[in-house]
Structure 1
Amino acid sequence: MNPPLLDRPLRVLRACLHLLVAGLLGLAAGAAVVQSAAHAGAVVASAAVLGVVYAAGAALSRVGRTAGATAVWLAALDATWLVLLALTPAGVYLAFPLFFLQLHLLPMRPGLLAVAATTLAAVAGFGWHQGSLTFAAVIGPALGAAVAVGTVLGYQALYRESQDRARLIDELTATRGELAAAERTAGTLAERERLAREIHDTLAQGLTSIQLLLRAAERALPQRPDTAAEHVTLARTAAQDNLAEARRFVHALAPPDLDDRSPATALHRLCATTTAQSGLPVAFDRNGPPAELPAPVEIAILRIAQSALANAVQHARASRVEVTLSYMDDGVALDIVDDGIGFDPAALPAPGNAGGYGLAAMRARARALGATLSVESAPGEGTAVAVSFSEGAP
């Protein structure tokens, strides 16, 4: 099968070859009639038979596709050509299209042998008609054979190059498809990780707070209904905040805590809410004059603080937590320090296990914005989470 790039040139070459054969057959027959050759009738008949044999091969689909049919057709064509060559010296010109057919339809080695045999037959026939073997009788068919061989070899080289190029294009297309699939997979995984962080930092923590408040209300309900009512009120407020977070999450808007507020104000409110809901004293302090920060940095500061405070409430058994937001000349830093039981950072569970998303989500948020996040802790020594955003962070 030929590459699509070579289909049209090949059709043109075949048409030219058909016209060449027809023209040379007409020349041989016409020359015999005009010159009133002794065997003019036989020459015309031989040329007609050769034309019929050639046309039959061009019309039969098996010729060129099966080795047996191709060999039989070429043998019949060569035999009728030899008859014509024996009758008229003009038959030597038909050797040229025969060269192309033999090289095109036969494998390279048999094709070259057939061309050599046809060349010898052409030289011998032309010399026999001339009565002597001259230099012109030898060089003419030899040059024709050389031109045919060079042309076919050039076409085959072009064919191989076209095949290689088509194969390369197919490989590039397949690679581009694989790359697109990999990019889609990477995008899906990144989006899944983002959703996991958002759910952990917002909805999951809000639902945990509601659960703790309702559990406290349940314990206080028989003897202290006023206290239970306060817990229920806080749970309802937390539910409202969580609903706002869910709506923001769906519509991909800014966190409600940051609406019309600075990060310092949002953190102050977060600390107060955490204290009210959990009973854990959380102090907030701001250092330096406030500066305008990019929205992604403000969101990351609030989310990291939410996650760190949730860890302190649920796991640290701390008696106090301090949150500090520091505005500096080259950026902003957030520190969350508790005096709890601490832990071994190297022994954290992998994300996906219980409690495995908190620090991983904080690190991912910081890494996405080019920030540095460090966690210092040891059993019995409390925990310090520090994240630093440099100036110019997105």
Structure 2
Amino acid sequence: MAHSTLTPVFVGLRIGLHALVVTLLTLVLVRILIASDDLMAVELGLVAVFAVVYVLGARIQRMTAARRRPAGALWVTALTIVWAALMVLVPEAAYLVFPLFFLYLHVLPRVAGPVAVVLSTGIAVLALGLHGGFTLGGVVGPLVGAAVAMLIGLGYRALAREAAEREALVAELVSTRDRLAATEREQGMLAERARLAREIHDTVAQGLSSIQMLLHAAEAADGDRPGIEHIRLARATAAEGVADTRRFIRELAPPTLDDGLGPALVRLGDRWSRVDLPVEVEAPASDAGLSMDAQIALLRIAQGAVANAVQHADADRIRVRLEVDGARATLTVADDGVGFDPTRVAPARGSDSFGLQAMAERVEQLDGTLRIDSRTGDGTTITVMLEKAAP
């Protein structure tokens, strides 16, 4: 079992069980040495066999789950046979039934374990009665021990089940965290590339275009003036610079938007749907009327809203809808999660890129409107409206 907060509890129980076996075997051994009867050699041999078979159980614990169950059943069966043979010769060996109770409940299947406990209790009571007569202590002792073992066994199984569920939950949370972190890093990189593309377009590309136009005007004004070849060469060089700059801009622009915002949203839904979270996307196939800034902003907001629903809302289904009407674009992201109280969750500066503050800033940069409709236990709907989304 992987390490968890309950691991010390399981280790303590196992150590306690081993200590109980050693103590009871020592008691039986002392009884054999004191009695020193004719069957002493056989009795000592049975004690040794019991100890060896018990130690072999440590190897069974290192097996895989598929092999551990049948091997464990054979192990406790062998221990029971040796214990019964030893109990015929040494009545004190009946007390070894107490650690056997825990082994039955831990190793055998759900129903077989309690049945084995009941049968071994009857055998221990019968053996004690045949050796020294049936007494109240000889009957009640094994019965109380069996009841205590059953209660402890049930508690152990409940703890083991809780530990397994917790480990599975932690593994799922770690996987989701890593996936969200990777998505955030990717989005940060794409956002920086988009920023660089805008900067190059607004500075270098515009400057080269202006130089090209001025050189073209100078060339057209007097085609026979001295140095016209230099002007033509400069204009050609500026044209090449404009072409190179536009190529850089295309390469820096987010690849997810190569074929438009609608297909990018569809791919976003498909990606999350592959991890068993249905994301329904309704978007037009073509949205060429939207500016690149508007497309990038709407895509980032959709990615952030979906990531929030996955990380915080515990949603079972998410719906993403994009409507484009001329220069107006409306994006809606709705989930059926736990929801929240918007009045108590105010956007805070310094939040991560998936936060409400990041969405609000993107919308504010484009003079749009952000509306958040949510109520505790009733899901969340985020609506973004851009009135001037066209270039």
Name the count of aligned residue pairs.
252
| Alignment of 1:170 onto 2:171 | yes
5+ long unaligned stretches in structure 1: 247-346, 354-359, 361-365, 375-385, 387-394
**177 and 62 in structure 1: CA distance in 2 versus 1, 3 angstrom threshold:** closer
Q: Is the 8 A contact 2:4 2:167 kept in 1?
A: no
Separation (CA, whole Å) in 2 of partners of 1:138 and 1:103? 21
Select the structure of larger CA radius of gyration: 1
- Give the aligned partner of residue 192 of structure 2: 191
CA contact (8 A) 1:3 1:159 kept: no
In structure 2, C-alpha distance between the alignment counterparts of 1:63 and 1:38, rounded to whole Å: 44
User: Which residue number corresponds to residue 351 of structure 2?
Assistant: none
Q: Distance in 2 between matches of 1:371 and 1:23?
A: 77
Q: Please name the residue that 1:82 is paired with.
A: 84
- Written as runs of structure 1 = structure 2, the 5 A alignment for 1:259-298 is none
Kept in 2: contact 1:2–1:159 (CA 8 A)? no
User: Alpha-carbon deviations, 1:313-359, whole Å to 9, x = none?
Assistant: xxxxxxxxxxxxxxxxxxxxxxxxxxxxxxxxxx9844469xxxxxx
Q: Which amino acid aligns with 1:103?
A: L
Partner of 1:145: 146
2:49 paired residue number: 49
Q: Does 1:96 align with 2:98?
A: yes
Q: Offset of 1:219 from its aligned partner?
A: 1.0
Match of 1:220 in 2: 221
Contact 1:63 1:70 in 2 (8 A): no
Q: Whole-Å Cα distance in 1 between the matches of residues 37 and 153 of structure 2? A: 36
Q: How far did residue 156 of structure 1 move?
A: 2.1
Which structure 2 residue ranges, 5 or more long, are not aligned? Answer: 246-286, 294-326, 328-359, 369-387
Alignment partner, residue 69 of structure 1: 71
Q: 1:158 aligns to what? A: 159
C-alpha deviation, 1:215, in angstroms: 1.0
Cα pair distance change 1:62/1:218, threshold 3 Å: closer
8 A Cα contact 1:3 1:163, kept in partner: no
Q: Distance in 1 between matches of 2:113 and 2:211?
A: 89
The reply on whether 1:130 has 2:148 as its aligned counterpart is: no
Change (3 A) 1:369 1:210: farther
Measured in 2, the distance between the counterparts of 1:63 and 1:207 equals 69
Conserved? CA contact 2:4–2:163, under 8 Å? no
Question: How far 1:40 sits from its partner (Å)?
Answer: 5.0
Q: 1:1-394 to 2 correspondence within 5 Å?
A: 1-35=1-35, 40=40, 42-58=42-58, 65-132=67-134, 134-222=135-223, 349-351=289-291, 370=364
Cα deviation, residue 147, structure 1: 1.8
Q: 1:206 to 1:145 in 2, by over 3 A?
A: same
What is the RMSD computed on CA atoms of the aligned residues?
A: 4.0
CA distance in 2, matches of 1:82, 1:367: 78
Partner SS, residue 111 of structure 2: helix
Q: Which stretch has the larger CA shift, 75-84 or 17-26?
A: 17-26
Contact 1:99/1:115 (<8 A) preserved: yes
* Distance in 2 separating the partners of 1:79 and 1:152: 22
Change in 2 beyond 3 A, CA 1:100/1:180: same
Retained in 1: the 8 A contact 2:54–2:79?
Answer: yes
Change (3 A) 1:222 1:38: closer
Looking at structure 2, the residues matched to 63 and 122 of structure 1 have their Cα atoms a distance apart, in angstroms, of 33
Residue 2 to residue 199, structure 1, CA distance change in 2 (3 Å)? closer
* Overall identity of the aligned pairs, in %: 44
Distance 1:370 1:47, change over 3 A: closer
For 1:74 and 1:32, locate their aligned partners in 2 and report how far apart those are by CA, in whole Å: 24
State the TM-score, normalizing by the size of structure 2.
Answer: 0.54
Measure, in 1, the Cα distance between the counterparts of 2:64 and 2:206: 78
How far does residue 174 in structure 1 lie from its aligned partner after superposition? 1.7
CA 220–12 in structure 1, closer or farther in 2 if over 3 Å, else same: same
Q: Secondary structure at the match of 2:102?
A: helix
In structure 2, C-alpha distance between the alignment counterparts of 1:373 and 1:131, rounded to whole Å: 95
